Amino acid sequence: MFGSFEGKTVIVTGGSKGIGKGIAKVFAKHGANVAVVARHLDAAEECAKELMEDGSVVHACRGDVTDLESMKAIAKEVYEKFGSIDVVCANAGIFPSKSLEDMESNDWDHVMDTNTKGTFYTVQAMLPYLKKAEYGRIILTSSITGTITGYAGWSHYAASKAAQLGFMRTAALECADHNITVNAVSPGNVMTEGLAGMGEDYLKEMAEAIPLKKLGKVEDIGYAALFLASKEAGFITGQAIVVDGGQTLPEE
């Protein structure tokens, strides 16, 4: 469909499992050198090993998006290993549930620090290297929650995901001079390892609520990211693509 990603380097934060692993898999299959970042190096290495079984090039890095120095160290490590950083997928995120009444300051800060400040740190640390690329691409994993819908128990998460899109629009303006685009993918309910343990009935109920009658696959998000990272998407910036099987469409 698109030109090859051969010779391009892609960093995926939160790439050891779930949606990040799906994004990493899709880019690796399309010839990119991929670096997967997570706090648990063993899980990142396990993921890299699995993705490399078909000959893909995947490097595991230990990193924490809430720590700017850690993200700067990863940028340097990946640039030295592969010679460029072309695409950054700021995907790492957490979603612990807490009602508004029970939420304490540290619950709020933990989610905002990871999802929102973590996005800022990831982008700021990678920017010097993205500026050297032929064309740079930044792709954020936001959500339908907070940007289109609400979900009881996730007010902090919803705020963090909406904030990512506000950040995206201004970052897109600041990065435009350097031929770097900044876009987002907003997933609906996606089948991840975390969701798999929720039981058949729960998964069936979730799928029923989606017009296409199925949960998203992690690769569905990967393909949207691949499109936004392609040369062909070079005139798209500051936009979010909803990938939700029609979940947000019904009026009732």
Q: Is 202 a catalytic residue?
A: no
For the bound state, the minimum distance from the C-beta of residue 58 to ligand NAP, rounded and expressed in Å, comes to 13
Buried-state track 170-179, b at ≥16 Cβ within 10 A, e below 16: ebbeebeeee
Name which position in 5, 8, 9, 19 contacts ligand NAP (CB under 6 A).
19
Residue 241 is encoded by which pair of tokens? Answer: 């693509």
Do the beta carbons of residue 130 and residue 123 sit within 8 Å? no
Catalytic hit among 79, 151, 157, 223: 157
Binding part of the chain for ligand NAP, among 90-98, 129-137, 146-154, 166-174 by CB under 6 A, reads: 90-98
User: Is residue 38 part of the contact set for ligand NAP (CB under 6 A)?
Assistant: yes
- 16 or 237: CB nearest ligand NAP: 16
Do the beta carbons of residue 63 and residue 35 sit within 8 Å? no
User: Is residue 20 part of the contact set for ligand NAP (CB under 6 A)?
Assistant: yes
Strands (E), the chain: 9-13, 33-38, 57-62, 87-90, 136-141, 180-187, 240-243
Q: Give CA–CA dist 81/59, Å, rounded.
A: 9
- 224 or 233: CB nearest ligand NAP: 224
User: Is residue 181 part of the contact set for ligand NAP (CB under 6 A)?
Assistant: no
User: Is residue 72 part of the contact set for ligand NAP (CB under 6 A)?
Assistant: no
User: Is residue 24 part of the contact set for ligand NAP (CB under 6 A)?
Assistant: no
Do the beta carbons of residue 91 and residue 15 sit within 8 Å? yes
User: Is residue 143 part of the contact set for ligand NAP (CB under 6 A)?
Assistant: yes
User: Is residue 94 part of the contact set for ligand NAP (CB under 6 A)?
Assistant: yes
User: Is residue 237 part of the contact set for ligand NAP (CB under 6 A)?
Assistant: no
Nearest to 215 by CA among 243, 175, 239: 243
> How far from 7 is each of 28, 57, 78, 83, CA to CA, in Å?
11, 11, 13, 9
- 7 or 246: CB nearest ligand NAP: 246
* Phi and psi at residue 231, to the nearest 5°: -60, -40
Residues that bind ligand NAP (CB under 6 A): 13-14, 16-20, 37-40, 43, 63-66, 91-95, 114, 118, 141, 143, 187, 189-190, 192-194
Which residues does the annotation mark as catalytic?
Answer: 157
